[in-house]
Structure 1
Amino acid sequence: MELEKNNYINSLFEFYEPLLTKKQANYIELYYADDYSLGEIAEEYNVSRQAVYDNIRRSEKILQAYEDKLNLYHSFVDRNDKLDQIQSYVEQNYSKDEKLNSMISNLETTEEQ
């Protein structure tokens, strides 16, 4: 469960980082991406562990609120799932169609950017 939450918050962070304040972004990145403890972040910013904890929890709620309104992450996941299904179908049924395979490769490249 904890690993799933970490992955989810990291994913939301990738989409919505520019909408966070610099401090919120720094705390989230250190805690979730760089695996810093609350104490390590508190020491680095010369604040209490409770202040770091409160900021991280508030930032998580903000990220979730952005996702609830904009739905960018879930749309991205849904598009990638559909693209995987199309790719699998093409590989099974049209593996020799170079143009079709090229078009799907271009879609994958576009999605990653």
Structure 2
Amino acid sequence: MLTSIFTCQHFKLLILSQVTVVLDKVLRVGLLYDYYGALLTEKQQQCLEMHYLHDLSLSEIAAEFSVSRQAVHDIIRRAEQILEEHESKLKLVQRHQQDQQVMKKVHELLCSLPDEMRQRPEIQESIHQIGLLLNFPKEL
């Protein structure tokens, strides 16, 4: 009984870690695509969009373009490689993420000010504007 509980818990953790890895990759490719997607060929753009944005399988994409599944796989992998190469040179995504962290910290600091300071219109406006940049919901 204890072995089956351990196995079940272990299995759940394994699945969760795999899901996290997949989500991290999807988010990374999405960010890279947002910054560098225009530098890809039209076919590379279409394949990445179909695979990551529309969640189509390699087989479905292959049928759409009348090519082999392997050809689609190669196009997607090459496009991902190109995106990573651009990021390694330009570091726009890295800078974006660093800027987001700094803005989040500033937002937290402004929100932690004493009430009498936080209620000042310029502080409220700063909190609101930084929140918009961070895609936070409207402050209450």
Question: Scaled by the length of structure 2, what TM-score is found?
Answer: 0.73
1:85 and 2:105 correspond: yes
> 1:55 aligns to what?
75
> 2:23 aligns to what?
3
1:101 and 2:124 correspond: yes
Partner Cα separation in structure 1 for residue 130 and residue 92 of structure 2: 18
> Does the 8 Å contact 2:107/2:131 carry over to 1?
no
CA shift at 1:100, angstroms?
Answer: 2.6
Unaligned runs of 5+ in 2: 1-20, 136-140
Unaligned runs of 5+ in 1: none
Provide, for residues 2-26 of structure 1, a one-character-per-residue CA deviation record: whole Å limited to 9, x for no partner.
1211111111111111111110000
CA shift at 1:107, angstroms?
Answer: 4.6
Instruction: Specify the structure having the higher radius of gyration (Cα).
Output: 2
The correspondence of residues 30-49 of structure 1 with structure 2, limited to 5 A, is: 30-49=50-69
- Number of corresponding residues: 112
1:16 and 2:36 correspond: yes
Aligned residues: CA RMSD = 1.7
Partner Cα separation in structure 2 for residue 64 and residue 101 of structure 1: 39
1:76 and 2:96 correspond: yes
Provide, for residues 31-74 of structure 1, a one-character-per-residue CA deviation record: whole Å limited to 9, x for no partner.
11111000000000000000000000000000000111111111
Partner Cα separation in structure 2 for residue 32 and residue 65 of structure 1: 19
Partner Cα separation in structure 2 for residue 9 and residue 26 of structure 1: 14
Matching residue within 47, 69, 81 for 1:27: 47
Change (3 A) 1:34 1:108: same
